[in-house]
Amino acid sequence: MVTAAASGRSRSRMTGGERREQLIGVGRGLFAAKGVEGTTVEEIAAAAGVSKPVVYEHFGGKEGLYAVVVDREIAALLGSITRSLSGRGSPRTLLERATIALLDYIEGSTDGFRILVRDSPVTQTTGTFASLLSDIARQVEHLLVDAFAARGYPPERSGMYAQMLVGMVAMTGQWWLDTREPDREEVAAHLVNLAWNGLTGLDAEPRLSARARDADEPEPPREHA
């Protein structure tokens, strides 16, 4: 059993940087499990074995700690996606690598991904999951530019399609976060199958059917006898 004196000595041996990293790790676990709104400074301090003023000293409160945690997770995921797209390969191969990179992150940093997909609090001023997805979409847009050019599609639409593609992968990742079935490689294969084979069958100038357009028009008033 650790005595209060021993605990105090352990805390005194921790440098400011070490204490900061400890609090980040503690906060990351609590935010993943309970969300930022459901986590209190008291819980963070208790889990770290420190007093509340220590948390305020390092981060100004739980919102400051949360911002640091989110920034780190965004940097980790975006960095992984960027590295996956930096090598050589066909557009399809790079798409496969980027998909695997996202699923790798979900599998290896489950707590981090749970934090990113939660709604950010009003006080959050750092990146959000939506802004992260937009950053990733910009990373993969050039793949679609090349694919569109090869098939005669308008390249100016590649940014919109990149948003669609990344959104599809991200939503599937959120579903897979809890199911974990099938395995990562199979999920990635199915995602790329839908994205790539769907791309090969695109209409150059898609149009809604007349029936779909008519559905938005109000019905004419009925005549009464």
Residue with tokens 């980040």: 24
Q: What is the dihedral of CA 110, 113, 114, 116, to 10 degrees?
A: 160
With beta carbons less than 8 A apart as the criterion, state whether 188 and 103 touch.
Answer: yes
Residue 16 has pLDDT above 50, yes or no: yes
129-142 average pLDDT score? 83
What sign does the CA torsion over 154, 156, 158, 164 have? negative
Superfamily of chain region 72-202: Tetracycline Repressor, domain 2 (1.10.357.10)
Nearest to 70 by CA among 22, 23, 21, 27: 27
Nearest to 198 by CA among 167, 171, 172, 165: 165
DSSP state string for the chain: ---HHHHHHHHHTS-HHHHHHHHHHHHHHHHHHHTTTT--HHHHHHHHTS-HHHHHHHHSSHHHHHHHHHHHHHHHHHHHHHHHTSS---HHHHHHHHHHHHHHHHHH-HHHHHHHHSPPPTT--S--HHHHHHHHHHHHHHHHHHHHHHHT--GGGHHHHHHHHHHHHHHHHHHHHHH--S-HHHHHHHHHHHHHHHHHT--SS----HHHHHTTSPPPPPPP-
Q: What percent of the chain has pLDDT over 70?
A: 84
Average pLDDT score, the chain = 83
pLDDT tens-digit series, residues 180-223: 899 999 999 999 898 888 877 777 778 888 776 665 555 555 55
Q: Using 50, 70 and 90 to split pLDDT, how confident is the model at 145?
A: confident
Place of tokens 């950053």: 135
Are 34 and 72 contacting, i.e. CB atoms less than 8 angstroms apart?
no
What's CA 12's distance to the chain center, in Å? 37
Please write the tens of the pLDDT for every residue from 54-82.
999 999 999 999 999 999 998 998 899 88
Give the residue extent of every domain in the chain: 72-202
